[in-house]
Amino acid sequence: MDILEKLAILADSAKYDVSCSSSGVGRNGQSGKIGSAAACGICHSFAADGRCISLLKVLMSNACIYDCKYCVNRVSADTPRTSFTPEELSDLTIQFYRRNYIEGLFLSSGVLKSPDYTMERMISTARLLREKHRFNGYIHTKAIPGASQALIDEMGLWVDRMSVNIELPTEKSLQSLAPQKTPEAVIGPMARISEGIRSNLADRDHFRHAPKFVPAGQSTQMIVGASPDSDLRILRLSEGLYQKYKLKRVYFSAYTPVVRDPSLPSLMTEPPLMREHRLYQADWLMRFYGFTSDEIVSPKHPNLSLILDPKCAWALRNIDHFPVEVNRASYATLLRVPGIGVIGARRIVQARRVGSIDFEGLNKLGIVMKRARYFITCRGKVDVGVVFSPDIIARSLLSARELSLIPAARGGQMRFEDLPEMREIDGAKKDVLLLNPTNEVTEEYERRSEFGICV
Amino acid sequence: MNGEVNLVYVYDGTLEGFLCCIYESYARRQVPDEIRCEQSQATFFDRTEWIRTDTAHSDKVYGSLAEKICLESQDFIRDAFLTRHPEKEILMYRFIRMGYRMGRKVMDFLTDDTVNTLTKAVRNLHREAHLLKGFTRFTLYDNVMVACISPKNKVLPILADHFADRYPDETFLIYDKTNQMALVHKPEGTLLTSMSDMTLPPIEDPEKAYRTLWKCFYQTIAIEARENPKCRMTLMPRRFWHNMTEFDL
Ligand code: SF4
């Protein structure tokens, strides 16, 4: 099989992996080597689905001895199988890199023969890149569940980021959909990597030239919508992973049906993109806005509203925290106002040093007034026409199209409390432009998206 | 100055020349209404004054930015000069005057129209430069890497460090078609120069083969069930596409 055919197969079977980010580590170039890494990551292209292409995302091999039900590569699937050799893949990576197509390599794999055998092939590839090709750019590899600790330790020295996919948020779901993967096989490598990073940081404190172990940190991914697990479970688990294993990112992947199986959603099911988007917003709230998962979801409302973004929903549930005076509120308080993002809050604090800000000034700073105006005062004044009632604000925050999807709203009877139950919007999302939430934030993306749907 | 006649300073189009306009405005106790570079058209109502570039004067003004405003204001002015804002010179002029009065606070005065407009223009420059760190595509002719870009702002001075650092031992050229400039890098050093045109020979194997591989990857990696052309267009505006290998345009 020639390299073009291999690439077509091994990229196709890698595409359901979400992560493509090249962030987390800044590294200057070096004479005698090729490449560098930018801490904020660089997107090299965007695919037709709007997702960022930063790394050459492929599998080492799509042959797999396991039989995870949701996966196109499972052993029982009837699909052509192939593998790259480490030489082929490292050559391809370096040729793409020279032409500035990519930031580096994101290498995953089906379990070829055994977890350890697979890991060895992947390590050879990373090693060829670093040693033979003198590659100084970004490498992200998967750690294969069940791989031995020694191999994880070795791989960590060649790559920038490692990840182990949790795939499903509960043991029960894992058992029913990925019977050969145990929670221990997933958590084991994750714990090992996290420990490796911790002790490596300590070593580097003492010996400046100690080799770096996974300097860009680790990430993981969960499939959303393949199992009946609630957003509450997903968000609590993510929060736990951030705290316990210091993960850099938890990615969510809306389940795209690829297999007919009684324990899975039918092939006709649309991927729950809106739900995925809301989960990313909630994740953002936990990582950058100082929210805890308890503030976002509760046993009473275990799922995120699909109609209203989680920050607006929180604000409406806690309307007694508002209005906030923009000229006095602390940075942390500003961050909790819908329509004010990290950049916006920073700009407000900056501009306040010169003089007090009015509504027009906020507009100039790029604050999304469409949302913010319901929750703030400027120099003690409320914006014209704003009434502090959650029901009225909720209605004003939604577009006419969104309102038309809510049966109760048609009669003008909609109450804010009814909103969390509204889940039917997912089917109608097709013409709603979603900003790709997996992209690293840059000022303008954030300004446009500040959690909203950008139309 | 009387109300009907525009006082226009004309300079040579370099940053030094612009800084001399600041110097002269203080020396001559004038406030220009416009500052233009020499190629632009004068109108009937203009009273134009040619400002000669004198590096002793421009150095003085440049130094005064750090002294009277702050160190960052030097970078800010240098960047502002690279932006595509059609009235950048007069905005920069007003910014500097304001800065002499207010000191470093002028950098925070984001609610002021001049500061706001200029800050946005600089942000736009950096955003475009950031996008082009990713969207620039090299073609290999033997061992020389060549790329063509058509940015709106003069991004090459900003991209120079990035690419020189990334490919230290390579020889490459990036041609900016819009601003007719080129960045040339060899292992011995990097150079910015003006360049009016570029014609390239047709490509051959193995370059052709790598392009095919890249196109194949680009098309394969998208998930059909998630297709979202609007989102792609927002994140990667169409004006970049014709310089990118993955599209046949
Ligand atoms: S182990 Fe990975 S590649 Fe193999 S079937 Fe499971 S998810 Fe698919």
B171-207 confidence digits (pLDDT tens) = 999 999 999 999 999 999 999 999 999 998 999 889 9
Between strands B6-11 and B34-37, the pairing is parallel
- The mean pLDDT of B28-35, rounded to a whole number, is 94
Nearest 5°: the CA angle B144, B147, B149 is: 165
Structural tokens at position B82: 């690279």
Residues linked to residue A141 through DSSP beta bridges, in sequence order: A107, A162
pLDDT in tens, A271-330: 888 899 899 999 999 999 999 999 999 998 899 988 888 999 899 999 999 999 999 999
CA distance A181 to A177: 9
Burial class (CB in 10 A: 0-12, 13-18, 19+), B69: buried
pLDDT in tens, A155-182: 999 999 999 999 898 889 988 898 888 8
- A3 at B interface, C-beta within 8 A: yes
Q: What is the largest CA-CA distance in chain A?
A: 71
Structural tokens at position B186: 């060899």
With bands split at pLDDT 50, 70 and 90, how would you rate the model's confidence at A407?
low
Q: Where are the alpha helices (DSSP H) in A289-364?
A: 293-296, 310-317, 331-335, 342-352, 359-364
Instruction: Judge if the beta carbon of residue A145 lies within 6 A of ligand 1.
Output: no
With bands split at pLDDT 50, 70 and 90, how would you rate the model's confidence at A185?
confident
Coil/strand/helix, residue B76? helix
CA distance A49 to B229: 7
Is the Cβ pair B134, A350 closer than 8 Å? no
Is the Cβ pair B166, A34 closer than 8 Å? yes
Distances from the Cα of A9 to the Cα of A3, A81, B85, angstroms: 10, 8, 47
Torsion of CA A387, A390, A396, A397, to 10 degrees: 130
A286 touches A239 (CB < 8 A): yes
C-alpha Rg value of chain A to the nearest Å = 24
Predicted local distance difference test score (pLDDT) of residue A401: 66
Structural tokens at position A413: 């009877």
Omega of the bond prior to B206 within 30 degrees of 0, cis?
A: yes
Question: With a CB-CB cutoff of 8 Å, which residues 191-210 of chain B face chain A?
Answer: 210
Distance of residue A98 Cα from the nearest chain B Cα, in angstroms: 7
List of chain A residues whose C-beta atoms are within 8 Å of the C-beta of residue B214: 96, 99, 101
Is the Cβ pair B234, A44 closer than 8 Å? no
Distance in angstroms between the alpha carbons of the first and the last residue of chain A: 45
CA distance A79 to A88: 22
pLDDT at A441 over 50: no
Which of B217, B218, B231 should be substituted to probe chain A, the one whose Cβ sees the most A Cβ atoms within 10 Å?
Answer: B217
CA distance B31 to B28: 9
ipTM above 0.90, yes or no: yes
A347 touches A365 (CB < 8 A): yes
Instruction: Judge if the beta carbon of residue A74 lies within 6 A of ligand 1.
Output: yes
Which of B110, B119, B140, B142 should be substituted to probe chain A, the one whose Cβ sees the most A Cβ atoms within 10 Å?
Answer: B110
What superfamily would CATH give domain A3-268?
Aldolase class I (3.20.20.70)
Residues 6+ apart with CB under 8 A from B127: A442, A443, A444
Is the Cβ pair B134, A45 closer than 8 Å? yes
A343 CA to centre of own chain: 20
Write b or e for each residue in B136-173: b if 16 or more Cβ atoms lie within 10 A of its Cβ, otherwise e.
bbbbbeeeebbbbbebebbbbebbbebbbbbbbebebb
Between strands B34-37 and B189-194, the pairing is unpaired
Is the Cβ pair A99, B133 closer than 8 Å? no
Nearest 5°: the CA angle A76, A77, A78 is: 120
- B101 at A interface, C-beta within 8 A: no
- Among B118, B88, B106, smallest CA distance to B18 is for B88
For A385: left if phi > 0, alpha if psi spans -120 to 50, otherwise beta; the answer is left
CA distance B113 to B106: 12
Look over chain B and give the mean of its residue pLDDT values, rounded to a whole number: 94
Instruction: Judge if the beta carbon of residue A10 lies within 6 A of ligand 1.
Output: no
A23 touches A8 (CB < 8 A): no
A222 CA to centre of own chain: 10
Predicted local distance difference test score (pLDDT) of residue B183: 97
Predicted local distance difference test score (pLDDT) of residue A424: 45
Instruction: Judge if the beta carbon of residue A71 lies within 6 A of ligand 1.
Output: yes
Q: Count other C-beta atoms under 10 Å from residue A157's C-beta.
A: 16
pLDDT at A448 over 90: no
pLDDT at A449 over 50: no
Supply the DSSP string of A222-249, one letter for each residue: EEESSS---HHHHHHHHHHHHHHH--SE
CA distance B205 to B217: 18
Predicted local distance difference test score (pLDDT) of residue B94: 97
pLDDT in tens, B75-89: 999 999 999 999 999
* B104/A405: higher pLDDT: B104
Instruction: Judge if the beta carbon of residue A66 lies within 6 A of ligand 1.
Output: yes
Coil/strand/helix, residue A32? coil
Predicted local distance difference test score (pLDDT) of residue A309: 86
B138 touches B147 (CB < 8 A): yes
B36 CA to centre of own chain: 17
CA distance B86 to A255: 48
Q: Over pLDDT 70: what percentage of chain A? A: 88
Coil/strand/helix, residue B145? strand
Residues 6+ apart with CB under 8 A from A6: A82, A83, A84, A88
- Among A100, A90, A163, smallest CA distance to A126 is for A90
- The mean pLDDT of A79-84, rounded to a whole number, is 96
The residue length of chain A stands at 455
> Ligand 1: distance of its center to the CA of A103 in Å?
26
Distance in angstroms between the alpha carbons of the first and the last residue of chain B: 53
CA distance B22 to A405: 59
- Among A20, A17, A58, A15, smallest CA distance to A41 is for A20
**Residue with CA nearest ligand 1 atom 1:** A66
Torsion sign (Cα): A379, A381, A386, A389? positive
In one-letter notation, the amino acid at residue B163 is F
Q: Where are the alpha helices (DSSP H) in B83-206?
A: 88-102, 113-135, 156-166
Structural tokens at position A338: 């819908």
Predicted local distance difference test score (pLDDT) of residue B3: 57
pLDDT at A6 over 80: yes
- Among A378, A382, A321, smallest CA distance to A355 is for A378
